[in-house]
Chains A and B, each alone.
Chain A
Amino acid sequence: MASAANANLNAVRETMDVLLEISRLLNTGLDMESLSICVRLCEQGINPEALSAVIKELRKASESLKVQTQPP
């Protein structure tokens, strides 16, 4: 039982590694944690189009905030 769970854990970890590699290749700019959240959302059937749009918007928003806060 424990070994099965362990094997499962390993598989999940490997998958995440692969995905992180692809992400790096494609230059998405996602770190491990964001990626894992995104994968979980996708696994729950979220529309990836919408998710990507949200992430883009979020990035833009945070950058614009930074821009606003930096000058002074």
Chain B
Amino acid sequence: MATLDQKSPNVLLQSLCCRITGKSEAEVAHQFQYAVRVIGSNYAPTIERDEFLVSEKIKKELLKQRREADAALFSELHRKLQTQGVLKHRWSVLYLLLSLSEDPRKPSSRVGNYGALFAQALPRDAHSTPFYCTRPQSLALSYGERSAGLSGSVGTSGISSLGVYTLNGPTPTPQPLLAGQPPQPAGGGGQPLGSRLAWTLPVSSSPSSTLVPPAARPPLGPPVPAARVVRPRRDGDPAGEVNEAALVRDILYVFQGIDGKFIKMSAQDNCYKIDSKVVLCKSLRDTSSRLAELGWLHNKVRKYTDARSLDRAFGLVGQSFCASLHQELKEYYRLLSVLHSQLQVEDDQGVTVCTESSLTLRRLLVWMYDPKVRLKTLAALVDFCQGRKGGELASAVHAYGKTGDPQMRALVQHILSLVSHPILNFLYRWIYDGELEDTYHEFFVASDPNVKTDRLWHDKYSLRKSMIPSFITMDQARKVLLIGKSINFLHQVCHDRTPPGKITAASKSADTPKDAAELLSDLEGAFQEKIDAAYFDTSKYLLDVLNRNYLLLEHLQAMRRYLLLGQGDFIRHLMDLLKPELVRPATTLYQHNLTGILETAVRATNAQYDNAEILKRLDVRLLEVSPGDTGWDVFSLDYHVDGPISTVFTRECMGHYLRVFNFLWRAKRMEYTLTDIWKGQMCNAKLLKTMPELSGVLHQCHILASEMVHFIHQMQYYITFEVLECSWDELWNKVRQAQDLDHIIAAHEVFLDTIISRCLLDNNSRSLLNQLRAIFDQIIEFQSAQDSLYRSALEELSLRLQYEEKKRQREEEGQWGVTAEQEAEEKKRIQEFRETIPKMRSQLRILTHFYQSIVQQFLVLLMTSSDESLRFLSFRLDFNEHYRAREPRLRASIGATRGRQLSNI
């Protein structure tokens, strides 16, 4: 009593009533009602909340009564009260005391006729206590207001499918009609209760019958104890037939998945069954078992949501699915509560006979038809979505939306919009910020945290095929992947710190969830547009950064110029400088010497005007040395790639470049060698005219050399113009038109593949390449053979000239030019030399023969090749049909290929 504990105002009021009237709680019910009403309706005080004013008023009052001493005493007491500070609302207490004060001199005015006051019915306050309504901060709302708020929100947000149905559906579902609302006359148009339930509700005209103490109102949800459920009217004949009202009550519990008195869950049959002991006519039994299906469906959905909503690993998509199911269930519960209250009203009226407006099983059957269809859909959905999560779940829901039934479609669409919301959130976060906040692996873009940044573009992100929702096409999904990947690439590899907002203009208007729901349902085009715009902007930005800051295109051109020998003057000069180094055995080569030579070559040629960034990356590389290799075999140019451009020029790509370079370098070397051979022939031709015995062998040399020059020229032409330039042009065009980095990478790979296969470096043309290598080897051999021929010839020539010179000198000195001995010696030497000539000739003949047979073999292989350009090469190599005349297989194969072509036509 002394402590000011926070009891509910109601309890306090009630005890006050008891105290003042001196009666028990039951007797003061009317007074209590009244008190509650008065206090509730006068919540806001009309007077000033000022303690000082009130205390002054009290003093004045006391003075008026001529009690100065009391006034002084009051001041003293008031001061004491102020110092204590236990009370917060001192003015309020004081005001109360003041207004209760009575002048002791006046006669008591307490007697009056107030009996009528409480006899008055207070219909408006009979059920809902306004006191509650007006003090929301300390007390729960009355049910009436709460549900009104709910139904209001249903109407405005349009989320709930029930709300949609009541607006559009052909059979309006009963509106929430609550016991707390005032009973309306049947035709009362003021309330928007035009639903069927509204006018079937009984009109409770006598206010006294609706007067129920608030505490006795049945709560919703858990069943009221059986004592309340079973009304006396039913207890009359327990052994006899169960009446319909009892069944209806039972059914209402079954709807919520709670066992009723007669209808119980049967575990073995997994359905609700009417107790077999209950005597019941067949039609009622049938109807109620049909209604009981709702309970079963409800349980199914409920079980799913209960199991899943606690499961964190189920993910956000799953959670929103559960939430949407919950929403639907809530609508269902609301309907049940309406039915309950209807039943309550009937009971309170004490209706014993079934009037035409009471609840019957048949009526329930009709009213519950729509909810049943909805619950069925939900249950089917739950079944179908079992074990799915993330995008898969959304696909499953989407699949259910493809139905002709507009109501069902609306329901599924609604659920889908909720379910896809998290997915779209992921999506927008990904395409606008490049962030992947997918803790539960629900989104269709997967990230592999183990991948380092150098493989970020190729390996880090991938599509989870199963998680792509069916409303997003594969193409869109790929673009989405690419957009986010580009952003991440920019951030992590290019270290580009541009805020994502600047890359894409569209991200400014980043979507509100509402947009997201709409995007899915109807405006597919807008969604596509959004993705396209983001894709376009991001990719363009990425390419700009790569080209501007990382010189991607310049590097591409550098590859062409240096590794693919596009810069002719540089390559030629380099070869000139390298020649003395490279003829030495490979083991004696040192990289630093070669690097020095490379730099000299760069400085001396047009390469010096190239970008320093590019020249910095150019380097020499020595391949693995195998015994017997010369420098020519192991030398290679190299180009260092790192940072962002290594995404395009990957390790494999560089490997390919090295192989191609090797091939081209070899072919180039042949050209170079043949130039040397020709130079030797031209220089020595005049000198050796004095030795007529050599003319035959020299002629042979010339013929073979021309044959080789022709071959190599045609080869070089083919490589340069038909392989490199064509592919390069194609690549360049593609790169120019590329929209994203993937296009460039793909074009580049196509380019390399083409070159590799056309240069006979792939597996299919291994035999061709072997022949070509053999031809190259023959050329080298021929060079050495010719060199030795010229060496011995020139040696012989100089010896002869020496001999002649000596002879002339002696003659001038007046001696004999030659002695017989010397002459014999000279003749013998000449004879010996002459004898070596046939040997040379035969060696050359063997060489020629060998060479020609290899070329013929090569031509045969070219003929049978599937590549058109290679067949054309064979025509070019054998234009005058020189080889064809010698090789029967060539004739046959040409005929064969022609025949094949004809048959193809």
Min CB–CB distance A5 → chain B (angstroms): 10
B526 partner residues in chain A, CB cutoff 8 A: none
- Check A48–B21 contact: CB distance below 8 A: no
- Check A64–B84 contact: CB distance below 8 A: no
Given contacts A11-B84, A22-B58, A62-B23, 16 further A-B contacts (CB under 8 A): A16-B2, A22-B97, A23-B97, A26-B62, A26-B101, A30-B97, A40-B7, A47-B39, A47-B42, A47-B45, A48-B95, A57-B34, A60-B110, A61-B118, A64-B112, A65-B115
Within 8 A of A (CB), among B15-71: 15-17, 19-23, 31, 34-35, 38-39, 41-47, 58, 61-62, 70
- Check A41–B98 contact: CB distance below 8 A: no
Min CB–CB distance A40 → chain B (angstroms): 6
- Which partner residue on chain B sits nearest A39 by CB separation? B93
Interface size in chain A (residues, C-beta < 8 A): 55
B226 within 8 A of A: no
B140 within 8 A of A: no
- Check A59–B110 contact: CB distance below 8 A: yes
- Which partner residue on chain B sits nearest A10 by CB separation? B2
B450 within 8 A of A: no
B81 partner residues in chain A, CB cutoff 8 A: 15, 18-19, 22
Min CB–CB distance A33 → chain B (angstroms): 6
- Check A15–B86 contact: CB distance below 8 A: yes
Interface size range of chain B in the complex: 35 or more
Residue-wise, chain A 1-24 has the 8 Å CB interface mask toward B (1 for contact) of: 000000011011111101101110
B: residues with CB less than 8 A from A are 1-7, 9, 12-13, 15-17, 19-23, 31, 34-35, 38-39, 41-47, 58, 61-62, 70, 73-74, 77-78, 80-81, 84, 86-89, 92-104, 110-115, 117-118, 135, 138
Within 8 A of B (CB), among A33-64: 33-34, 36-64
**Cα A55 to Cα B489 with chains together (Å):** 78
A39 partner residues in chain B, CB cutoff 8 A: 4, 87, 93
A: residues with CB less than 8 A from B are 8-9, 11-16, 18-19, 21-23, 25-34, 36-65, 67-68
B21 partner residues in chain A, CB cutoff 8 A: 58, 61-62, 65
**Cα A39 to Cα B74 with chains together (Å):** 18
Chain A-chain B contacts (Cβ-Cβ < 8 Å), number: 181
Given the known interface contacts A37-B15, A68-B115, the answer about A48 and B99 at a Cβ–Cβ threshold of 8 Å is: yes
B1 partner residues in chain A, CB cutoff 8 A: 32-33, 36
- Check A57–B9 contact: CB distance below 8 A: no
- Check A25–B3 contact: CB distance below 8 A: no
Q: Out of A21, A46, A50, A55, name the residue touching B20 (CB < 8 Å).
A: A55
B58 partner residues in chain A, CB cutoff 8 A: 22, 26
Q: List 22 A-B contacts (CB under 8 A).
A: A8-B86, A11-B86, A12-B3, A14-B84, A16-B2, A18-B81, A18-B84, A23-B100, A26-B61, A26-B100, A27-B103, A28-B97, A29-B102, A32-B1, A36-B1, A39-B93, A44-B9, A44-B138, A57-B117, A58-B16, A61-B117, A65-B115
B39, B97, B118 pick with most chain A CB within 10 angstroms: B97
- Which partner residue on chain A sits nearest B36 by CB separation? A54
- Which partner residue on chain B sits nearest A58 by CB separation? B20
A26 partner residues in chain B, CB cutoff 8 A: 58, 61-62, 97-98, 100-101
Q: Out of A22, A43, A50, A68, name the residue touching B42 (CB < 8 Å).
A: A50
Min CB–CB distance A4 → chain B (angstroms): 14
- Check B77–A27 contact: CB distance below 8 A: no
- Check A62–B101 contact: CB distance below 8 A: no
**Cα A47 to Cα B61 with chains together (Å):** 21
Given the known interface contacts A58-B35, A61-B21, the answer about A42 and B92 at a Cβ–Cβ threshold of 8 Å is: yes
- Check A48–B93 contact: CB distance below 8 A: yes
A22, A28, A38 pick with most chain B CB within 10 angstroms: A22
**Cα A50 to Cα B36 with chains together (Å):** 10
Min CB–CB distance B113 → chain A (angstroms): 6
- Which partner residue on chain B sits nearest A46 by CB separation? B39
B43 partner residues in chain A, CB cutoff 8 A: 47, 50
B6 partner residues in chain A, CB cutoff 8 A: 44
- Check A57–B45 contact: CB distance below 8 A: no
B104 partner residues in chain A, CB cutoff 8 A: 27
- Check A54–B15 contact: CB distance below 8 A: no
- Which partner residue on chain B sits nearest A42 by CB separation? B92
Given the known interface contacts A19-B93, A42-B89, A58-B31, the answer about A64 and B111 at a Cβ–Cβ threshold of 8 Å is: yes
